[in-house]
Structure 1
Amino acid sequence: MATLLQSSRVLPLHESPQARPTTITAVYRAAARLLVQNGHHQGDYCPDPFDRHTATPHAERPLSIVAAIRCVSSPHGDNPHRMTDLSEVAVKVLADRLEVDGEPAWNDEPHHLEGHVAHWGDVEGRTTEAAVAVLEAAADANEVSA
């Protein structure tokens, strides 16, 4: 396993603070890579979210767009259920870019913004490729505006 020396303590690379995204652009790109790796899931954060049938870690299952954003933004990059300031800003910015049935997000409350992004991802026939493309486009647009 790759390691990083930090303050005379060797950390696995995946636990390195430098390995975690620290900008909205980096969050979108990391979430896109995670969806490429695991696949896009519709209908919930991930399949079997209450672990009734499988013990596979949630971060290794197909994920919704919101779950992928939260996962890569979590302190250890492994929790699609954990909200952070960075993940919620990323969800808000993405919700502002997306339309569902021709409608923008109608409310700035975090729960509604999450629902708006989730509804976009849950449209019948929405593919992993489409979810990745929207994350990459949001990353590109955020870089230009930054």
Structure 2
Amino acid sequence: MAQQLTERPPITPTSLPRIFRSAARILAANGLHQGDFVEDPFDRRSKSSHATRPMSIVAALNCAVTGDPHRPTAESREAIRVLALRLVVRGSGPYGEDELALAFHVDEWGDTEGRRTESAVAVLEAAADACEVSA
């Protein structure tokens, strides 16, 4: 009799490069969403899991660590902080160092008109590369 294989639990990335790369894969698969954490956040049209919908960069970083785009952790907050300090929006960095200001800055970059999924994926991959070089 054949033995049934069970699915292994997903490996949660804990290093910054792994978090950035995991978020990049999530966005590459789901797409970048502008204007909110996820497409249709109040489930008015869609009943699918929020983790499978197009999402913002901040949501993808949360999702990379927890599997939930709405649930941040210390690790996803640190990834957001590092990324916010790398991004420039209208010629400047984040307006503050608090968690909300940093997340707002990252999402403001992602919400820029004409921003595409490929750009967000490239920025996350570049952040992962930079973290690996500086480690």
What TM-score results when the alignment is normalised by the length of structure 2? 0.94
Q: Is the partner of 2:79 in helix, strand or coil?
A: helix
Alignment correspondent of 2:35: 43
For 2:97, the aligned partner's letter is D
Alignment correspondent of 1:9: none
Q: What's the % identity of the aligned pairs?
A: 52
Q: Distance in 1 between matches of 2:117 and 2:13?
A: 21
**Which residue among 137, 143, 146 is the counterpart of 2:126?**
137
Alignment correspondent of 1:126: 115
Q: Confirm whether residue 61 of structure 1 aligns to residue 53 of structure 2.
A: yes
Deviation per CA, 1:51-75: give whole Å up to 9, x if none: 122111001000110000000111x
For 1:140, the aligned partner's letter is D
**Which residue among 86, 89, 109 is the counterpart of 2:78?**
89
Instruction: Tell me the C-alpha RMSD between the 2 structures.
Output: 1.3
For 2:56, the aligned partner's letter is S
1:105-116 to 2 correspondences below 5 Å: 105-116=94-105
| C-alpha displacement of 1:102 | 0.7
- Please state which structure has a larger fraction of its residues in strand: 1
Q: Distance in 2 between matches of 1:2 and 1:127?
A: 38
Equivalent pairs counted in the alignment come to 132
Deviation per CA, 1:6-39: give whole Å up to 9, x if none: xxxxxx32x24xx110111100000001111011
Greater relative contact order (Cα 8 A, min sep 6): structure 1 or 2? 2
Q: Distance in 2 between matches of 1:84 and 1:20?
A: 12
Which structure 1 residue ranges, 5 or more long, are not aligned?
4-11
Q: Distance in 2 between matches of 1:40 and 1:139?
A: 18
**Which residue among 65, 71, 75 is the counterpart of 2:63?**
71
Q: Distance in 2 between matches of 1:86 and 1:62?
A: 22
For 1:88, the aligned partner's letter is R
* Deviant stretches of 4+, over 2 Å: none
Deviation per CA, 1:84-142: give whole Å up to 9, x if none: 00000000000000010011112111011000000000000000000000000000000
Which structure 2 residue ranges, 5 or more long, are not aligned?
none
